[in-house]
Structure 1
Amino acid sequence: MLAALAPVRTRVVLARAALLDAMEHADSPTVVLHTTCAGTVSVTASSSWTERALTGTGTTGDFVAQEISSTAAAGREAPEPGAAQHIPQARATGPAMAIHFAVTTLYPAVATAVGPDVMLDLIAPDQPVLIRSADDGDLSTLAMPCKPEPAEETSR
Structure 2
Amino acid sequence: MTDQNLAVVKRVVALYLLLLAGATVVHLIITPFYQPDHDPDFTYWEAYDPFMMAGSLLVLFFAYLWKRRHDAALPEANNWRAYLEANGLFYVGGVHAILLAWSWLMQVYGDSAQAQPVIWLLLDSVGPMLWLATGRRLWREAASA
TM over 0.5, yes or no?
A: no
TM-score norm. by structure 1 comes to 0.24
TM-score norm. by structure 2 comes to 0.25
